[in-house]
Amino acid sequence: MKLLTSLFAGLLFGLGMALSGMMDPARVTGFLDLAGAWDPSLAFVMGGALAVFMPGYFLLVKPRRLSLLGEPMARVPASVLDRRLIGGAALFGIGWGLVGICPGPALSLISSGQPMIMLFIGAMAAGILLVDKVWNRVLEKARQHRIA
């Protein structure tokens, strides 16, 4: 059941991205280009998504301790704001602004077979693996430094 739920959520997400135009790098860069020919259409997409999401979240999700499938709901304290979060958000924003694609639409665009999308996915995967290795090495050195 968890696999079917995940598949349905992914299909719904991809369909929403495709219908809204958020998979079109030109539209995304037009939205992010505040100094040029700004395209506000994605602001309406995001506003519409929030208008649907927020009531459902506060009425149905936040009060629950278990998911609809009976698993514990993961809770992250709102006060967790560290270098890793800020650095990751900055890299995400820089990448999004430079190429007009972020990980969600990139995964949805794999089916297009465009070479640039495949290059983006490869670079994204390499970056994830590199950061994971570097971050784990930094944490290990910090632990060793505290022990010594």
Instruction: Give the start-to-end residue ranges of the domains of the chain.
Output: 2-147
For the chain, the farthest-separated pair of C-alpha atoms sits apart, in whole angstroms, at 57
Alpha carbon distance 3, 11 (integer Å): 12
Residue whose token pair is 């992914």: 10
Instruction: Give, rounded to a whole angstrom, the gap between the first and last alpha carbons of the chain.
Output: 48
pTM above 0.75, yes or no: no
Rounded to an integer, the average pLDDT of 44-48 is 92
Residue 148 pLDDT: 57
- Check whether 21 has a pLDDT greater than 70: yes
Please name the residues in contact with 118: beta carbons below 8 A apart, sequence gap of 6 or more: 110
